[in-house]
């Protein structure tokens, strides 16, 4: 949500910043802007809409200067207008600021320090710009930023430049991520590593309450009210090429097709056939300590929450440990009961989901063992957890998640296998799970080969205005995720139910213009699911079923079938979700939606 890209060096800053904004599009935004500095003057261009609109506004105009800042904004304070687009100036136009996050006390700051100032926007960010500029008239830019940060309540990822201090960039972070890329006599700052990778793989991630003064001569990092901080850079192993579409029409489709490969990255080196278990590096807990865990809590939001619902089922099935899934945005507003025998997993693709992060912090305050499960190396959840596991899905640039969801489920199942083997899960059962895990990539490839058939089905069903998704047991969360994908990508109203609950209300919705997508694979609940589908059929709703290959019986009940290979029940979600992802994708293509950047959504949600 929102994105910052900044540069200081010896090259022209404008083209570098513009290219960086392109690579940040996946975060979600509604306006964009760039400021560069040359010979004591700002050069700014801003636009409402996407980066193409900014490009048209730029035209052949050159943004002169070798340092500057850029921003993609997602509206919070004030509407989607040119005046509200970032970067913002101070009152005298001597300081420019780009800001992610929310300043909660901006009105109080405005009233106390800026009574006579004239503001051109409705944003909280412009208050920061005015305040920094005001203090910078009496002290250095660094000290001015430091003073303002001490006054601020809220969250920020901040980039500041001044016409008075050439070739200098001040950046700061509290709750909104910032990464600093280290080049040869040049530095890049961005909301994540993606726009930095074409130039350098050496990255420093700022932690909360840290800020940096960056010049041509170096980068010095400070902790608010504590002084200088020594930090080592990390080498990122994602290539810039990995973040490209590789011939696919959209990032979303590429990432769906990435899944057979990235699931191997998730379980490679972690499955232990000799003992029928798994080894999770970074877990930071001995077997003895793990055996003392008597409760597991899974924290997540959005798509990650459905992965956790699968995890809840699998932990109890394999490990027989009471497990609860909790929505990150609600968890800390209760009074959760946690202790030293509770293990909490914070699950997030970006590792920056603020609702999950603050709930993780609450869990730590209450004495629980906290572990992160994230995709982005060096993200805040990963750094603040007591340990954890990277899911190794690689860059996921489409706003709607696909491969990260699959790898989250995979890693959670491997953790459940580990805990199961510490308790009563037999070696034979553990080995069977491992053997079936290793067959998944090939089975996933076979489902992806059905894409042309799924595309035709999507074209058939795209005319409908409402959908209902049904699942039972471990597949109910997959029904939720399938429905979630359809509404995210296509903007069609969709909801999901446990199939056994239909008779308690949802049957009232069923009609010939209300199709049902049902997960009806062969498992212990198949007969129950078939009965539920007979109820749907009796009410004339068209039924599209996900079924196990070879199941001819189901054709008598449903309108259309997508077949998937057979696997063991606890691994079914990994296969069942793929046709639902493809279905949502192709429905949305048929409706000509903006696939990779759905309206009103963002990839990394860093506000509450």
Neighbouring C-beta atoms of residue 463, cutoff 10 Å: 11
Burial of 227 from C-beta contacts in 10 A (0-12 / 13-18 / 19+): exposed
Tokens of residue 590, six digits: 């048929």
The pair of three-digit structure tokens given for residue 365, joined into one six-digit string: 């305050």
Q: Which of 2, 219, 301, 308 does the annotation list as catalytic?
A: 2
| Paired residues of 277 in beta bridges | 272
Angle at 301 between CA 299 and CA 305, to 5 degrees: 70
The tokens for 338 are 């946690």
What letters, b where the CB count within 10 A reaches 16 and e where it falls short, cover 434-454? beebeebbebbebbeebbeeb
Q: How far apart are CA 467 and CA 476, in angstroms?
A: 15
**Cα dihedral: 335, 339, 341, 342 (round 10):** 30
d(CA 180, CA 203) in angstroms, rounded, equals 5
Catalytic residue flag (residue 603): yes
Handedness of CA 357, 362, 365, 366 (dihedral sign): negative
**Residue 367 phi/psi, 5° resolution?**
90, 10
Active site residue 566: no
Q: How far apart, in whole angstroms, are the C-alpha atoms of residue 490 and residue 298?
A: 29
What's the order of all strands across the beta sheet hosting 295-300?
Answer: 323-327, 295-300, 342-348, 369-374, 388-390
59 burial level (CB within 10 Å; 0-12, 13-18, 19+): exposed
From the candidates 142, 254, 485, 603, give the one annotated as an active-site residue. 603
Alpha-carbon separation of residue 403 from 274, 454, 495 (angstroms):
29, 18, 22
CA distance 111 to 116: 9
Instruction: Evaluate whether 604 touches 1 at the Cβ level (below 8 Å).
Output: yes
Query: How buried is residue 126: exposed, middle or buried, by Cβ count under 10 Å (0-12/13-18/19+)?
Result: buried
The dihedral sign for the CA sequence 22, 25, 30, 33: negative
Residue 247: exposed, middle, or buried by beta-carbon count in 10 A (0-12, 13-18, 19+)? exposed
**Residue with tokens 């063992």, as numbered in its chain:** 369
Rounded Cα gap, residues 474 and 314, in angstroms: 8
- Percentages helix, strand, coil for the chain, rounded to the nearest 5? 40, 25, 40
Q: Cα 67 vs. chain centroid, distance in angstroms?
A: 29
Q: What are the b/e assignments for 471-491, b being 16+ CB within 10 Å?
A: bbbbbbbbbbbbbbbbbbbbe
Q: With CA atoms as reference, report the closest residue to 472 among 516, 530, 412.
A: 530
φ/ψ (deg, to 5) at 370: -115, 130
Angle, nearest 10°, between helix axes 106-113 and 125-136?
40
Helix 572-590, helix 427-448: angle, nearest 10? 20
- Active site residue ranges: 2, 603
């Amino acid at each position: 949500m929102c994105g910052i890209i900044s540069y200081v060096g010896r090259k022209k800053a404008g083209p570098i910043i513009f290219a960086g904004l392109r690579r940040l599009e996946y975060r979600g935004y509604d306006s964009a802007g760039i400021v560069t500095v040359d010979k004591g003057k700002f050069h700014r261009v801003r636009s409402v809409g996407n980066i193409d609109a900014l490009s048209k506004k730029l035209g052949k105009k050159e943004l002169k200067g070798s340092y500057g800042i850029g921003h993609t904004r997602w509206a919070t304070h004030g509407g989607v207008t040119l005046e509200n687009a970032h970067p913002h100036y101070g009152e005298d136009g001597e300081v420019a600021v780009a800001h992610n996050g929310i300043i909660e006390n901006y009105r109080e700051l405005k009233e106390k320090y800026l009574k006579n100032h004239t503001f051109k926007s409705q944003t909280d960010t412009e208050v920061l710009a005015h305040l920094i500029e005001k203090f910078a008239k009496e002290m250095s830019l660094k000290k001015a930023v430091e003073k303002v940060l001490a006054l601020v309540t809220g969250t920020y990822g901040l980039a500041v430049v001044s016409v008075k201090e050439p070739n200098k960039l001040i950046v700061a972070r509290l709750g909104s991520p910032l990464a600093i890329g280290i080049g040869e006599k040049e530095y890049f700052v961005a909301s994540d590593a993606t726009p930095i990778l074409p130039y350098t793989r050496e990255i420093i991630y700022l932690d909360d309450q840290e800020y940096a003064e960056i010049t041509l001569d170096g980068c010095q990092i400070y902790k608010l009210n504590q002084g200088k901080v020594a930090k080592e850079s990390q080498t990122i192993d994602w290539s810039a090429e990995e973040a490209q579409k590789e011939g696919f029409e959209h990032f979303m489709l590429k990432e769906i097709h990435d899944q057979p490969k990235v699931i191997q990255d998730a379980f490679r080196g972690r499955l232990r056939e000799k003992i029928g278990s798994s080894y999770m590096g970074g877990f930071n807990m001995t077997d003895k300590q793990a055996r003392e865990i008597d409760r597991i809590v899974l924290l997540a939001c959005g798509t990650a929450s459905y992965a956790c619902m699968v995890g809840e089922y699998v932990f109890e099935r394999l490990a027989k440990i009471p497990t609860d899934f909790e929505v990150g945005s609600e968890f800390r507003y209760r009074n959760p009961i946690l202790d030293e025998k509770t293990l909490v997993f914070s699950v997030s693709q970006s590792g920056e989901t603020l609702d999950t992060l603050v709930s993780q912090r609450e869990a730590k305050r209450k004495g629980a063992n906290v572990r992160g499960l994230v995709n982005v190396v060096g993200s805040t959840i990963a750094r603040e957890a007591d340990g954890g596991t990277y899911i190794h899905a690689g860059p996921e640039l489409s706003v709607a998640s696909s491969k990260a969801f699959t790898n989250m489920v995979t890693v959670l199942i491997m953790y459940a296998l580990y805990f199961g083997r510490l308790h009563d899960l037999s070696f034979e059962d553990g080995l069977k799970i491992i053997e079936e895990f290793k067959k998944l990539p090939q089975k996933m490839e076979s489902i992806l080969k059905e894409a042309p058939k799924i595309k035709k089905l999507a074209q058939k069903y795209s005319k409908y205005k409402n959908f209902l998704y049904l699942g039972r047991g471990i597949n109910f969360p997959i029904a939720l995720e399938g429905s979630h994908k359809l509404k995210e990508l296509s903007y069609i109203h969709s909801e999901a139910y446990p199939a056994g609950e239909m008779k308690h209300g949802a049957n009232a919705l069923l009609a010939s213009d209300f199709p049902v997508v049902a997960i009806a694979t062969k498992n212990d609940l198949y007969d129950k699911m078939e009965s539920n589908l007979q109820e749907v059929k009796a009410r004339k709703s068209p039924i599209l079923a996900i079924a196990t290959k070879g199941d001819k019986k189901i054709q008598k009940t449903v309108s259309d079938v997508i077949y998937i290979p057979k696997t063991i029940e606890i691994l079914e979600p990994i296969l069942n979700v793929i046709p639902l992802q493809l279905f949502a994708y192709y429905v949305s293509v048929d409706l000509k939606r903006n696939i990779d950047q759905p309206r009103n959504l963002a990839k990394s949600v860093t506000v509450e």
